[in-house]
């Protein structure tokens, strides 16, 4: 969470602008709600010395970069800088990208005291991939010894959510939310939200999909649309970057950025992304995000009216796998709305929404599904992500036998939280098991592993009894035979 300079200022800013925004993060109370990073994007470095070291634009930063970063740090904030995979950034000459200067630039950023690095995708050299440069930069950052978060801004190119968990902590999923300075269009807000949501299965702690810096408070949105925008980012577990001028914002905009209950949805420790449920009617979308754990019975729900006329919207408890009644809280009104049977229904203005917290009893007879590819799971040995069109969310994890490594490979499903200790059933869905009878070792928590046969199949499933304990559990699949088993998902029922 933080503030980023580009959306409002483009390159029309200087040292004082950044200091003013840092001060505003403090005076508005935003810092204390979690907005910690001040990200200076673009037009920073106007050339290189003969030895290749970066020259900070002296007109814009008359006191140098270190002095400005010290100012930011003195306010209990963190500082972020910007570079590019190319020789020059998106703003073009003379602004410097880090291509072939990764080590030197990372060391410079660390020397300035930076805590965060964004790397953009303009002017990508054709002789290599963006991925190779991002991986080089990540390594260069590691070598500095200074903890700096790394943000891959490839606008969704090269699908970083599928490979960058060891490289970066966040990545852009789409092109810019606006091509215009300090102006935005509603359709782009919706477009960036929906496009980011397509990768929701890869949302986890330190694996964040970024639909772009927010345009809350930017001209072009009605107050209703701005609130929906913030709610969309919150239910996406998106990085919350304010992209407006914090020193000038009105009370309504400030109210949107400082809703602690909406922020808590965004920052929920599970880190789950948004799940789209059945559309209520044309243009009435229903989104949910499990809070705490899958199957906790607690979830955020966003009802959105994308149509241009007021319309009714509803969420049904059966779509949330809840049984009986559920409690509903409105996170913008800060109000408990009471207990509801079966569904919650409301009227939404055009482009309006409600962000709810719904708490009920999870239906363990239906169970909860854990995707193999979720980055919170642990892969070891030769386990690897496998694109799989027929799998849920399009991916499986492939376990390959010892021909590819003495230990074979394993996948540990984590964060399997159940309400009480006892017998549960884990239904494992696998996409491919090449041999007639592949045997995997299944280990629940610290118990002795048990052999389970996965009959040869293109798309099969096996139901395994598992004794789980109240609270958090893990279930590991280890494969040490010759051949391959590809695991799609696990559904845990009682
Ligand atoms: C874009 C990037 C923006 C901003 C801008 C600066 O490519 O997505 O976040 O950094 O470049 O030129």
The 10s digit of each residue's pLDDT in 57-95 is: 999 999 999 999 999 999 999 999 999 999 999 999 999
The residue nearest atom 7 of ligand 1, judged by CA position, is 120
User: What is the percentage of the chain residues whose pLDDT exceeds 70?
Assistant: 99
Contact 111/66 with Cβ under 8 angstroms?
yes
Q: Where are the alpha helices (DSSP H) in 170-312?
A: 186-197, 223-235, 251-257, 260-266
Residue 176 is classified by DSSP as -
In sequence order, which residues have a C-beta less than 8 Å from that of residue 281 and are 6 or more positions away?
Answer: 311, 312
Q: Which atom of ligand 1 is nearest to the CA of 89?
A: 12
Q: Where are the alpha helices (DSSP H) in 34-97?
A: 64-74
Q: Which of 84, 105, 115, 120 is catalytic?
A: 120
For ligand 1, mutation pick of 2, 3, 5, 6 (most atoms within 8 Å of CB): 6
Q: Residue 426: is it exposed, middle or buried by C-beta count within 10 angstroms (0-12/13-18/19+)?
A: buried
Model pTM above 0.75: yes
Radius of gyration of the chain (CA): 24
- Name the strand (E) or helix (H) holding 209: strand 208-210
Q: Which atom of ligand 1 is nearest to the CA of 4?
A: 9
Q: Which residues sit with their C-beta closer than 6 Å to ligand 1?
A: 6, 41-42, 90-91, 120, 122, 153, 176
Q: Predicted confidence band at 456 (pLDDT cuts at 50, 70, 90)?
A: confident
For ligand 1, mutation pick of 176, 184, 213 (most atoms within 8 Å of CB): 176
- Closest-CA residue to 350 (of 287, 286, 303, 306): 306
For ligand 1, mutation pick of 9, 10, 42 (most atoms within 8 Å of CB): 42
Q: What is the pLDDT of residues 174-214, one digit of tens each?
A: 999 999 999 999 999 999 999 999 999 999 999 999 999 99
Contact 137/150 with Cβ under 8 angstroms?
yes
The torsion of the CA quartet 102, 108, 109, 114, rounded to 10 degrees, works out to: 160
Q: What is the pLDDT of residues 10-33, one digit of tens each?
A: 999 999 999 999 999 999 999 999
Q: How much distance in Å is there from the Cα of 268 to the middle of ligand 1?
A: 27
Q: What is the pLDDT of residues 294-338, one digit of tens each?
A: 999 999 999 999 999 999 999 999 999 999 999 999 999 999 999
Q: How much distance in Å is there from the Cα of 177 to the middle of ligand 1?
A: 10
Q: Quick one: pLDDT at residue 344?
A: 98
Mean pLDDT score of the chain: 96
Q: Quick one: pLDDT at residue 480?
A: 86
Structural domains present in the chain:
2-266 (3.20.20.70), 275-362 (2.60.40.1180), 368-493 (2.60.120.260)
Q: Which atom of ligand 1 is nearest to the CA of 6?
A: 4
Q: Predicted confidence band at 406 (pLDDT cuts at 50, 70, 90)?
A: low
Q: Predicted confidence band at 484 (pLDDT cuts at 50, 70, 90)?
A: confident
- Closest-CA residue to 405 (of 484, 486, 487): 484
Q: Which of 20, 176, 319, 330 is catalytic?
A: 176
Q: Quick one: pLDDT at residue 481?
A: 83
Q: How many residues does the chain have?
A: 494
The residue nearest atom 11 of ligand 1, judged by CA position, is 90
425: helix, coil or strand? strand
- Closest-CA residue to 29 (of 216, 191, 258, 210): 258
The answer to whether residue 67 is catalytic is no
Cα→Cα distances 320→44, 273, 429, 471, 472, Å: 47, 15, 22, 21, 21
Compute φ and ψ for 337, nearest 5 degrees.
Answer: -95, -10
User: How large is the average pLDDT for residues 277-282?
Assistant: 92
The β-bridge relationship of strands 484-493 and 368-371 is antiparallel
Q: How much distance in Å is there from the Cα of 155 to the middle of ligand 1?
A: 9
Q: What is the pLDDT of residues 130-142, one digit of tens each?
A: 999 999 999 999 9
User: What is the percentage of the chain residues whose pLDDT exceeds 90?
Assistant: 94
Q: Which atom of ligand 1 is nearest to the CA of 42?
A: 6
The answer to whether residue 120 is catalytic is yes
For ligand 1, mutation pick of 84, 120, 130, 174 (most atoms within 8 Å of CB): 120
- Name the strand (E) or helix (H) holding 141: helix 130-144
- Closest-CA residue to 352 (of 303, 289, 279, 314): 303
Q: Which atom of ligand 1 is nearest to the CA of 120?
A: 7
Q: How much distance in Å is there from the Cα of 156 to the middle of ligand 1?
A: 13
| Residue 238: pLDDT over 90 | yes
User: How large is the average pLDDT for residues 145-159?
Assistant: 98
Q: Which atom of ligand 1 is nearest to the CA of 175?
A: 8
Compute φ and ψ for 114, nearest 5 degrees.
Answer: -65, 155
Which of 38-47, 332-341, 427-436, 446-455 shows the lowest mean pLDDT across its residues? Answer: 427-436
The residue nearest atom 10 of ligand 1, judged by CA position, is 41
């Amino acid at each position: 969470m933080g503030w980023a300079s580009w959306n409002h200022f483009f390159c029309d800013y200087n040292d004082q602008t950044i200091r003013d925004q840092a001060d505003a993060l403090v005076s508005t109370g935003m810092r204390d709600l979690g907005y910690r990073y001040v990200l200076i994007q673009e037009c920073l470095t106007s050339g290189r010395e003969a030895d290749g070291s970066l020259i900070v634009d002296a007109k814009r930063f008359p006191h140098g970069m270190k002095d400005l970063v010290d100012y930011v740090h003195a306010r209990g904030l963190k500082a972020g800088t910007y570079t590019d995979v190319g020789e020059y950034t998106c703003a073009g000459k003379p602004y410097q990208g880090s291509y072939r200067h990764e080590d030197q630039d990372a060391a410079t950023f660390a020397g300035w005291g930076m805590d965060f690095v964004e790397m953009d995708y303009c002017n990508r050299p054709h002789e290599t991939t963006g991925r190779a440069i991002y991986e080089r930069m990540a390594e260069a950052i590691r070598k500095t010894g200074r903890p700096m978060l790394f943000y891959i801004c490839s606008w969704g190119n090269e699908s970083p959510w599928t490979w960058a968990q060891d490289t970066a902590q966040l990545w852009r999923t789409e092109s810019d939310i606006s091509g215009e300075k300090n102006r935005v269009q509603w359709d782009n807000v919706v477009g960036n939200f929906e496009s980011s949501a397509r990768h929701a299965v890869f949302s986890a702690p330190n694996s964040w999909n970024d639909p772009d810096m927010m345009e809350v408070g930017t001209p072009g949105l009605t107050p209703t649309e701005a609130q929906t925008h913030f709610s969309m980012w919150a239910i996406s577990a998106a990085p919350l970057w304010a992209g407006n001028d914090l020193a000038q914002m009105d009370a309504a905009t400030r109210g949107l950025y400082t809703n602690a209950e909406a922020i808590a949805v965004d920052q929920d420790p599970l880190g789950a992304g948004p799940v789209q449920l059945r559309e209520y009617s044309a243009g009435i979308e229903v989104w949910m995000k499990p809070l705490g754990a899958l199957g906790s019975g607690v979830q955020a729900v966003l009802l959105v009216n994308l149509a241009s006329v007021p319309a009714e919207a509803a969420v049904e408890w059966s779509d949330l796998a809840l049984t009986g009644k559920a409690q509903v809280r409105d996170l913008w009104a800060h109000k408990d709305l009471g207990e509801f049977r079966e569904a919650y229904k409301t009227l939404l203005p055009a482009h309006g929404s409600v962000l709810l917290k719904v708490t009920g009893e999870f239906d363990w007879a239906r169970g909860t599904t854990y995707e193999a590819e979720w980055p919170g799971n642990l892969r070891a040995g030769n386990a690897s992500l496998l694109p799989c069109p027929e799998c849920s969310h399009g991916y499986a994890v492939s376990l390959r036998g010892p021909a590819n490594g003495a230990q074979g490979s394993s996948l540990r499903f984590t964060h399997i939280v159940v309400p009480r200790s006892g017998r549960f059933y884990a239904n494992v869905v696998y996409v491919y098991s090449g041999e007639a009878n592949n045997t995997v070792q299944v280990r629940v928590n610290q118990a002795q592993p048990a052999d389970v046969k996965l009959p040869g199949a293109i798309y099969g499933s096996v139901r395994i009894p598992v004794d789980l304990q109240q609270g958090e559990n893990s279930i590991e699949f280890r494969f040490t035979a010759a051949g391959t088993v590809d695991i799609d998902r696990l559904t845990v029922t009682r």
